[in-house]
Amino acid sequence: MGLLKNKGTHKNELNDKKHNIIKEVNNCKGEDLEALLQKIESKIEKSDEKDRLLLSAKTMVTSRIAVRNSSK
């Protein structure tokens, strides 16, 4: 029974890491958005398949950059 208990641990760890990127986007200050965008794009390029969470994070950051730049 102990073996089945830890079966999804790796998958849960990956989900936690992915959710951390959304938290990072939400807490990112304006001057750090470009660096965060590069970080997300790098993760997308390294990914074997489409990761909807990373694509959503990229959209969120891009939108925030566009809003910030539109006020200039």
Tell me: the pLDDT tens digits for 8-35? 565 566 556 656 888 999 999 988 999 9
Q: What is the structure's pLDDT at 5?
A: 52
Tell me the two tokens of residue 26: 């939400």
* Structural domain span for residue 61: 2-70
**Mean pLDDT in residue range 45-49:** 90
Q: What is the structure's pLDDT at 30?
A: 87
Tell me the two tokens of residue 14: 């990956």
Between CA 40 and CA 2 the distance in angstroms is 36
For the entire predicted model, the pTM comes to 0.73
Measure the CA angle with vertex 61, ends 56 and 63; round to 5°. 95
3-state secondary structure of 15: helix
Q: Could you give the number of structural domains in the chain?
A: 1
Among left, alpha and beta (phi > 0; psi -120 to 50; other), residue 37 is alpha
**Mean pLDDT in residue range 54-72:** 92
The per-residue pLDDT of the chain, averaged, comes to 83
